[in-house]
C-alpha cells in the first residue's frame, strides 16, 4: 500500500487538480466555517504529500471533500480504520452502564459471509471453526434487517445488578417498543423480562415491578445490588426490554475486587 501522502498526491493528479486549486478550494471552506485551520497552502500540501507530514483533522476533512472521498478512507490511509472500532471497544471497560452509540456511524462491518454447510444453530459449537469466509459487508446491505425500535447498551464493569445472567462487560440489544412493564408469574428467571432503565444516576438492567406511581428495580438474587424504589417516570424511565446479549465469559472482575486482579474460579 502506498504511503498516505503519496496516495493523496496520486488522487489529486488523477482529478487534474493543482496545488493552487487545493489552496483556493480549502480557502473557501475556511471562509465558510470561519476557521483558517481548513486552509491548505501549497507549501503545506507539498509537505503532506512528500514529507509524511500529518494533516490536521480540519485539513484532512477539507481534502476528503475536495477529492470527493469518504473521510474514513483517508483516515485508513493513516492507519485509523474505523471498521476496527467494534473489536477495539473491548479494550476499554467503562464502569457505568450506558447507551452505546459508538458503532452508529460505521459504514461496513466484518462478518461471516459463508458458513460451513454442517452448521447447526441448535447445537453449541465453535463458531470460529464453522465460518468458512469472513468479508467486509456494507451496512447498507444489512438495511433489510434494520429495526428502528432497537437500541444498544453496554453493562458497565461495576454494574452487577443482573449478575450472573448479564455479566459486567456485556453488550445488550434493547427493544424500545417494549417499554411497558409486563406483570406475570414466571417459571424461571430466564423467562422474566429484563428491562433497560435510565435513572438519575445512569443506566442499569433489572427486573421491574410497577406499584402505582413507583417502579421497583429488582436485581438478581445473587447480585450484591440492593432493590430500589423510584418514582416513574420522574426518577426512572424504562427504555425498553433486553432482547439480545453478547457477553465475554472471561476478563471480568469480581465485585469489590481491584481492577488489577481477575476473578478466580472457586474449586469445591
Q: Is 85 exposed, middle or buried (0-12, 13-18, 19+ CB in 10 A)?
A: middle
Residue 262's pLDDT is what?
43
Contact 174, 150 (CB under 8 A): yes
How far is residue 103's CA from residue 159's CA, in Å, rounded to a whole number? 22
Beta strand 202-211 with 195-199 is: antiparallel
Contact 190, 178 (CB under 8 A): no
The domains located in the chain, with CATH, are: 4-80 (1.10.260.40), 150-246 (2.10.109.10)
Q: 243: helix, coil or strand?
A: strand
How far is residue 120's CA from residue 224's CA, in Å, rounded to a whole number? 38
Residue 82's pLDDT is what?
84
pLDDT means over runs of 10, the chain (268 residues): 91 95 97 97 97 96 95 93 78 80 63 63 51 57 58 86 91 91 92 94 94 96 96 95 82 52 37
Residue 263's pLDDT is what?
40
How far is residue 99's CA from residue 209's CA, in Å, rounded to a whole number? 22
DSSP state of 90: G
Q: Is 108 exposed, middle or buried (0-12, 13-18, 19+ CB in 10 A)?
A: middle
How far is residue 165's CA from residue 143's CA, in Å, rounded to a whole number? 30
Residue 193's pLDDT is what?
97
Output the nine-digit C-alpha cell for 205.
438492567
Q: pTM score > 0.75 for this model?
A: no
Residue 265's pLDDT is what?
35
Handedness of CA 84, 86, 90, 93 (dihedral sign): positive
Amino acid at each position: 500500500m502506498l504511503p498516505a501522502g503519496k496516495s493523496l498526491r496520486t488522487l489529486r493528479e488523477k482529478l487534474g487538480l493543482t496545488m493552487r486549486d487545493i489552496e483556493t478550494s480549502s480557502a473557501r471552506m475556511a471562509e465558510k466555517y470561519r476557521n483558517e485551520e481548513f486552509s491548505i497552502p501549497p507549501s503545506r500540501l507539498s509537505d503532506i504529500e512528500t514529507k509524511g507530514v500529518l494533516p490536521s483533522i480540519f485539513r484532512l476533512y477539507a481534502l476528503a471533500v475536495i477529492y470527493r472521498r469518504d473521510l474514513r478512507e483517508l483516515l485508513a490511509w493513516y492507519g485509523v480504520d474505523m471498521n476496527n472500532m467494534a473489536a477495539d471497544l473491548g479494550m476499554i471497560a467503562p464502569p457505568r452502564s450506558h447507551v452505546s452509540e459508538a458503532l452508529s456511524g460505521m459504514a461496513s462491518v466484518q462478518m461471516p459471509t459463508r458458513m460451513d454447510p454442517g452448521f447447526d444453530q441448535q447445537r453449541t459449537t465453535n463458531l470460529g471453526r464453522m465460518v468458512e469466509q469472513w468479508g467486509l459487508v456494507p451496512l447498507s446491505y444489512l438495511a433489510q434487517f434494520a429495526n428502528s425500535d432497537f437500541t444498544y447498551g453496554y453493562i458497565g464493569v461495576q454494574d452487577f445488578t443482573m449478575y450472573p445472567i448479564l455479566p459486567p462487560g456485556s453488550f445488550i440489544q434493547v427493544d424500545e417498543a417494549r417499554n411497558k412493564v409486563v406483570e406475570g408469574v414466571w417459571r424461571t428467571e430466564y423467562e422474566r423480562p429484563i428491562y433497560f432503565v435510565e435513572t438519575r444516576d445512569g443506566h442499569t438492567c433489572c427486573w421491574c415491578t410497577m406499584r402505582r406511581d413507583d417502579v421497583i428495580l429488582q436485581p438478581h438474587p445473587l447480585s450484591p445490588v440492593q432493590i430500589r424504589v423510584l418514582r416513574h417516570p420522574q426518577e426512572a424511565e424504562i427504555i425498553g426490554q433486553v432482547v439480545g446479549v453478547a457477553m465475554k465469559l472471561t476478563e471480568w472482575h469480581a465485585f469489590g475486587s481491584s481492577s488489577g486482579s481477575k476473578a478466580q474460579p472457586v474449586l469445591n
